[in-house]
Amino acid sequence: KAGVTQTPRYLIKTRGQQVTLSCSPISGHRSVSWYQQTPGQGLQFLFEYFSETQRNKGNFPGRFSGRQFSNSRSEMNVSTLELGDSALYLCASTKTGGPLVETQYFGPGTRLLVL
Amino acid sequence: KQEVTQIPAALSVPEGENLVLNCSFTDSAIYNLQWFRQDPGKGLTSLLLIQSSQREQTSGRLNASLDKSSGRSTLYIAASQPGDSATYLCAVIAGANNLFFGTGTRLTVIP
């Protein structure tokens, strides 16, 4: 069974631009969560989507948004990029329960560099 | 705000030793606690999930305990192997369904 895939793996953008990251969960998994990892702040939870609806949300500004499609694939968008948005963005999937109650399966991440 | 601390930040042990990683959190009103390992270039792997009503969980050579009242969890690794070398992270689920991660413990098991 294929694992969680994330595209692209690496991305370079400049301040003020926007970026869209993609995550395809394990087949049959309907919950997708997103995380940001930086050296300064560590790993932080962004949000979780289930059945095309945002079910849980961390403490991030509105510049960070996401969506989920009917096939459970999810995208994350960051608008008006700032230097501090440079990070490794991870997504994870679970069957239905989400990151709060089920074992998560993580993708390899997308490394974003904002110049 | 929930704060999660992991001590030590780094640990080196010879192969075969049993070891304990610590995780402490400031707000005991948590839903559950999870342990992960992170390998460079290989992403994050979920290890154990302990529900708030449970005291411990075991998987192979790993055993995680949870003491909500004292705000602490420990991850016990038995008979450590070089393949156990990684960064170990704990996370608590609290507040409005948010996950709070610790700072991690970087473990090196020396052959």
Task: Find the radius of gyration of the CA atoms of chain A.
Answer: 13
**A45 → closest Cβ in B42, B99, B103:** B99
Element of type H or E holding A88: strand A87-94
Structure token pair of residue B35? 């342990």
Q: Helix %, strand %, coil % for chain B, to 5?
A: 5, 65, 35
Report the alpha-carbon distance of residue B83 to residue B108 in Å, rounded. Answer: 9
| Structural contact between residues A47 and A33, judged by C-beta atoms closer than 8 angstroms | yes
Tens of each residue's pLDDT in chain B, 111 residues? 789 999 999 999 999 999 999 999 998 888 889 999 999 877 789 999 998 889 999 999 999 999 999 999 999 999 999 999 999 999 998 766 688 999 999 999 999
A contact test, residue of B45, B98, B103, B105 with most A CBs within 10 A: B98
Tell me if chain B has a CB within 8 Å of the CB of A100.
yes
